[in-house]
Amino acid sequence: MKTYSLTLTLGFCLWSNLAPAEAKEKDQVEIKCLVPENKIADISAKLDLASRTPLIRVVCFFDTGSLALFQHDPKLILRSRYDSSDETDTTAKVRGGKVKGDDVECEFDKVCGKERTESCSVTSKKQELAEIKAANAGKDIKKIFSKKQEAVAKGAFGKIGWDKLQPYGPVEGVKVWKKIEMPGGPPLTAERWELPARPGKPAKVLFEVSAKVPLSDEAKTSKWIVELLGVSKSGSEESETKTRIVLDHFAKHSP
């Protein structure tokens, strides 16, 4: 297998992930399953979410009008978030490629019904809330991403016209419940995203349940989550990522 490498500024190196990286015991995998809308109420009751207080987030993605970053190989995902605890963060994530360098975190993502992929990201928590809100409205998007995040983005995609990027979202009122204990498996996280109606696109609800476990526990945890939720293993929408669905929902949108 050939390995392609690119030396980046700030000491970053990125390799195109032509095959899954060699697994190590310390590697983690986040297993994610989307629940069909007609099962959300039942699963919410099963997880007893009514008795739990969720974290409330606002999430926004950034891409070109043609979704060039997300459709690239490897995928590049740029995201901002802020929440009810007054925390803010931005992330530059490379999905399907590997990044090495200071402050880079890598793990595997496993969407139910699909093969796992490796994702590497750099997250920054130094942005002012006002700057993130401005970027979410389409102003000074580059300003909320650090130099290290810019280096990761350039290494994955090449030259980016930051002034050409546009917000996909923001999605407001995202509810996040963490550390949900259920018999027979690891702690779960549940997220409920309510996407507003848009021209030609009805409002919809995304409800995801996930767990992060050692790679060696991937198979048994995936089976446990699928059985717990009663979700399909087919290639339907439940096997897509939240990111793809949100980007598609807000496509051809400008603030």
**HSE of 135 in the Cβ direction (CA atoms, 13 Å)?**
28
pLDDT of residue 233: 56
Q: What CA–CA distance (Å, rounded) separates 144 from 40?
A: 34
Could you give the maximum distance between any two Cα atoms of the chain, in Å? 52
Amino acid at 215: L
Coil/strand/helix, residue 12: coil
pLDDT of residue 68: 97
Q: How far is CA 205 from CA 152, 175, 192, 216, in A?
A: 32, 11, 7, 32
Q: What CA–CA distance (Å, rounded) separates 15 from 115?
A: 19
Query: What is the pTM assigned to this prediction?
Result: 0.86
Coil/strand/helix, residue 44: helix
pLDDT mean values, one per 10 residues, the chain (255 residues): 36 36 66 94 98 97 97 97 93 90 90 91 95 97 96 95 96 97 97 95 96 96 94 55 94 62
Domains of the chain plus CATH, in order, are 27-250 (2.40.320.10)
Q: Which residues contact 205 (CB under 8 A, 6 or more apart)?
A: 37, 40, 192, 193, 194, 195
Closest Cα partner for 192 from 206, 209, 172, 203?
Answer: 206
Q: Which residues contact 62 (CB under 8 A, 6 or more apart)?
A: 69, 78, 79, 80, 135, 141, 165, 166, 167, 168
pLDDT of residue 26: 67
Coil/strand/helix, residue 166: strand
Closest Cα partner for 74 from 145, 154, 11, 191?
Answer: 154
Task: Determine phi and psi for 163, rounding to 5 degrees.
Answer: -75, -10
pLDDT of residue 246: 96
